């Protein structure tokens, strides 16, 4: 049974997932030259990326949530608009990340979009089933020491997430906000050798251990991750574009 007040979040999650599935289905048919959408959407001679309507929907959803009526219907509408808009924008996250909007959608770098969508969907799902990045939310009427305990848990969770970020474990940091044990494990284990933490704290044998562990981890899990991304988003068929002069700088 859906918890009270979770309907807008559930609609946001469903809109996010359904939009991503439909978007990738349409783009794959366009890529293969099939389907009713094979002629790209254009405004004049300018190709309109689907991140553009996504941004518009995000703005509409945000303004509705902030300034619209507080009724469940309007909040649900805002959730749907934000879910659709976020999905459309994140599906082209890799393209937006590159200067001059280089077309990396079907390149290896374009896989970053699928990773961003997968992480966002996972976090929305965790929030929907009751996990909160803010820990204990409602302690009304309970003694002061429980409030202080809840505050301490939040602070510790934030510190663990920060350590994971400094160690180059960004996914672990994100999930650690929802699942503190993940943050504890990430904070205790060796950092990635290219991370800020390793550059300032690791030398000699410790740096070599971190490098070996990262290489073993990547060798074991990178193919699985690549296979998942290829399955969801489509296997890259174009080389990565050369870096622009601005990027080289």
The per-residue pLDDT for range 30-59, each reduced to its tens digit, is: 776 676 655 555 555 556 678 889 989 999
For the cut 50, the answer to whether the pLDDT of residue 248 exceeds it is no
User: Pick the residue with more confidence: 156 or 227?
Assistant: 156
Least confident of 115-119, 179-183, 202-206: 115-119
The 10s digit of each residue's pLDDT in 55-97 is: 899 999 999 988 888 888 889 999 999 999 999 988 887 676 6
**In the beta sheet, which residues pair with residue 107?**
238
* CA–CA gap between residue 170 and residue 186 (Å, rounded): 10
* CA–CA gap between residue 202 and residue 200 (Å, rounded): 6
Least confident of 22-26, 126-130, 152-156: 126-130
Beta carbons within 8 Å of 229's beta carbon, 6+ residues apart: 111, 114, 115, 118
* CA–CA gap between residue 12 and residue 124 (Å, rounded): 8
* CA–CA gap between residue 226 and residue 246 (Å, rounded): 29
Give me the chain's average pLDDT, please: 76
- How crowded is residue 51: how many other Cβ atoms within 10 Å of its Cβ? 20
**pLDDT at site 175:** 80
pTM of the model: 0.56
| Exposure b/e, 202-228, CB count within 10 A at least 16 = b | beeeebeebbeebeeeeeeeeeeeeee
């Amino acid at each position: 049974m859906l918890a009270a007040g979770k309907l807008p979040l559930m609609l946001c999650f469903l809109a996010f997932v359904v939009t991503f599935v439909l978007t990738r289905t349409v783009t794959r048919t366009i890529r293969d030259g099939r389907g009713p959408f094979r002629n790209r959407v254009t405004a004049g001679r300018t190709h309109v990326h689907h991140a553009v309507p996504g941004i518009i929907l995000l703005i509409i959803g945000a303004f509705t949530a902030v300034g619209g009526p507080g009724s469940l219907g309007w909040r649900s509408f805002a959730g749907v608009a934000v879910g659709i808009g976020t999905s459309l924008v994140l599906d082209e996250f890799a393209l937006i990340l590159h200067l001059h909007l280089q077309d990396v959608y079907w390149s290896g770098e374009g896989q970053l979009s699928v990773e961003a969508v997968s992480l966002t969907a996972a976090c929305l799902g965790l929030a929907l089933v009751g996990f909160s990045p803010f820990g204990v939310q409602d302690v009304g009427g309970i003694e002061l020491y429980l409030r202080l305990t809840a505050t301490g848990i939040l602070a510790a969770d934030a510190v663990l997430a920060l350590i994971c970020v400094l160690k180059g474990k960004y996914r672990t940091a994100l999930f650690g906000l929802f699942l503190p044990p993940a943050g504890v494990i990430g904070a205790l284990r060796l950092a990635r050798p290219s991370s800020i933490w390793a550059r300032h704290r690791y030398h000699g044998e410790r740096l070599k251990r971190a490098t070996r562990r990262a290489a073993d981890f990547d060798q074991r899990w990178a193919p699985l991750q690549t296979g998942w991304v290829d399955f969801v988003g489509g296997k890259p068929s174009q080389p990565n574009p050369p870096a622009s002069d601005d990027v080289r700088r």
